[in-house]
Structure 1
């Protein structure tokens, strides 16, 4: 921030996290510079089933509506937001914010902040900084929440109106520039992930020799395969759900547990839980071994498919996975790459049944056809893919680190501007 000048004179704000502010600025509570409307969810009979009324927002400040609420209810209860109100989530996730783009009925998880003695765009940025105070105050056993008092007492640093507009204009421009850089980098990550998926799919369905003779597999969704590859089925090349934790397991037995949510869409295991058997979910039953591949059989669109690189004896996964333990003719990691290829992911999703929680049986996965080279070629393909994926992952990690730095800089710039640590009154907005 050294390229931006400071104000000439400062004073102590009296608030530790704010520190010094320009001498002519003030610190005000949110309730003194805005009108705050806490939401209230109507009863089901007060919802409109004929889709006449106001769209209704429940609790995360996202513009997704439930049954519309009749205007009569909203006008009587006064539980609605107006255009340009700041929508603030007061229940998990506490602090999510948005700008109301129309009139909405709002539920108890939201409040609407109507700027009164402050410029609304400046207030938006100011609240982005003071939200840390809300996070500290949020509490609850089932889900975190803050009270109307917490919101009312949220602090805002208040410069004169002309400076509010100047700061808002400055931050609009700067955050737009930063957001554009972040979007470009996120797009690059998306392209790299698509490339990673394409490399995997090509290698395990066509091999690595572009000049190899091909033949029709006779299976529509697999298509052509190298002439020397053999056809089989997953159930003939691996054991499926081979080992299960007994119901008579000691209550105090410690397990490391992998749930569906622990596996990312790119196959990374993130968030293993340490539990005792007595306190573990009833679905924590599949015993895992090194070299297993786990394939989600529920919510298959999540692409929760992972390879067990190393496994201690107490590594357990949910019964929502099919555990594939490869037999002798299959290289363990080759089976993982096969299941992560686009054709297999798509086929599993296509065979899933159900709308909200589409699922397949482990037997459906076992029935999937597969085309396999010999073990030596499998090992060669795995080595090739490991090298390619490592390079791509390193690039992705570098770009993610750049994105995090940009986000940190963005937040720091907002904080410095709205607390007066930098003077942007004469900054030329392009």
Structure 2
């Protein structure tokens, strides 16, 4: 819906055609923009550190050319809410479409229109079922956008610049509060899983650089002495004999984002368990993400239900009472940076943690009673902080929804120009 007076509509490709200029990505460009340099939903540019990896797109292949004032839109799902206006000339990833707004179209107004949930949702829906979900320009360019008079576009863009900046400041404040809570949580866990609960206990060198000193009465042992380590696989998705909604729980690597793990991604049959050599893992156990360049690699979660896993997860199943799964999970959280760096070495293991690395990893082993006390202390702290965190997150979600609703209302003409400071 849009106001009938003076507002028109047009297909995007007629008012913001593609630039379609390409250049070698490795050339000496003043600025390179990748998907990682654009913040989702806000249109803000994010600076990134120079990459040493010469195989990255920024160094090889081709890049799209953009000019100051062009509007960039990410075509790769789940990055379809990534769009920005170019502040200067440069080049960008070929996963970004470069549009040249016509004289009748304010670039900032176009940017806000592209970031509405309705527009992003329409483009996103066009990629469903695709093996590599990239939105096509044929589809995007055929979508109609609203065209109020140019003066009204400027009023709307200026209004949204002001109002979204105000909301963004509130969002940033909430995010800082969440970050501080996370830092406090991580600091507590790091301290108690490596030093215990007694601040006066005698210490000794652990012999592990990532660990430092530990209580003198604790042991240091490889995980393989205390637990079984293994991983799983993904049965062929084309084989109907392997999958069943009423089957055995099968987990992918996304589950390590929430602990304990109690919900399955999909379910496999007994045939799949047998023919695909899938392990049956019973709690207590810990799951670890072992592949990928995202944050999942190195993350750990306690397994709360009997399940099997794919090849991107490893399981660590204690085989002795000397190791508590909850303590191990907290300890691996402290070891996250070490696991990431240790798996970034050269060779075939680059970007992956192997089961052998996990099995040989030396960890501190307090007496079981201390492990239980440590987990209880962490649980008490979380019981206090989680309600606060949940309240802040709910407020943050409301602000994010308010931002999206405001943009939609403005670009669809639901807010009179006089209310926007005309």
Q: Do these two structures clear the TM 0.5 threshold for a shared fold by scoring above it?
A: yes
Counterpart-to-counterpart distance in 1, 2:281 and 2:139 = 47
CA contact (8 A) 2:223 2:363 kept: yes
CA contact (8 A) 2:232 2:314 kept: no
1:61-76 superposed matches below 5 A: 62=38, 66-67=58-59
**Structure 2 unaligned residues grouped into runs of 5+:** 39-44, 46-55
CA contact (8 A) 1:297 1:320 kept: yes
Cα separation, partners in 2 of 1:57 and 1:65, compared to 1, 3 Å: farther
Q: Which residue of 2 aligns with 1:393?
A: 386
1:17-416 superposed matches below 5 A: 18=1, 21=3, 23-31=4-12, 34-37=15-18, 39=20, 47=24, 51-52=27-28, 62=38, 66-67=58-59, 80-92=65-77, 93-94=79-80, 96-101=82-87, 102-104=89-91, 107=94, 110-129=97-116, 131=119, 132-138=121-127, 141-241=130-230, 251=242, 254-264=247-257, 269=261, 272-276=264-268, 285-299=278-292, 302-309=297-304, 311-312=305-306, 314-318=307-311, 320-341=313-334, 344-352=335-343, 353-354=345-346, 357-416=350-409
Counterpart-to-counterpart distance in 2, 1:285 and 1:180 = 48
* TM-score (norm. length: structure 1): 0.75
1:204-245 superposed Cα distances (whole Å, 9 cap, x missing partner): 111112233334445554333223333433222223339999
Counterpart-to-counterpart distance in 2, 1:368 and 1:108 = 39
CA contact (8 A) 1:52 1:69 kept: no
**Structure 1 unaligned residues grouped into runs of 5+:** 1-17
Counterpart-to-counterpart distance in 1, 2:233 and 2:418 = 67
Rg larger for: 1
Alignment RMSD: 3.9
Cα separation, partners in 2 of 1:263 and 1:370, compared to 1, 3 Å: closer
Counterpart-to-counterpart distance in 2, 1:243 and 1:85 = 46
CA contact (8 A) 2:123 2:140 kept: yes
The alpha-carbon deviation at position 85 of structure 1 amounts to 1.1
Using the TM superposition, name which of 105-114 and 116-125 deviates more: 105-114
1:94-147 superposed Cα distances (whole Å, 9 cap, x missing partner): 453221232437747624142321222222223333514434444552234444
* TM-score (norm. length: structure 2): 0.77
SS for the counterpart of 2:139 is: helix
The alpha-carbon deviation at position 370 of structure 1 amounts to 3.1
SS for the counterpart of 2:16 is: strand
CA contact (8 A) 1:138 1:144 kept: yes
The alpha-carbon deviation at position 203 of structure 1 amounts to 0.8
Query: How many residue pairs are counted as aligned between the two chains?
Result: 390
Counterpart-to-counterpart distance in 1, 2:262 and 2:8 = 42
The alpha-carbon deviation at position 336 of structure 1 amounts to 1.9
Cα separation, partners in 2 of 1:187 and 1:279, compared to 1, 3 Å: farther
The alpha-carbon deviation at position 333 of structure 1 amounts to 1.4
Q: Which residue of 2 aligns with 1:9?
A: none
SS for the counterpart of 2:407 is: helix
CA contact (8 A) 1:288 1:317 kept: no
CA contact (8 A) 2:174 2:392 kept: yes
Counterpart-to-counterpart distance in 2, 1:96 and 1:221 = 37
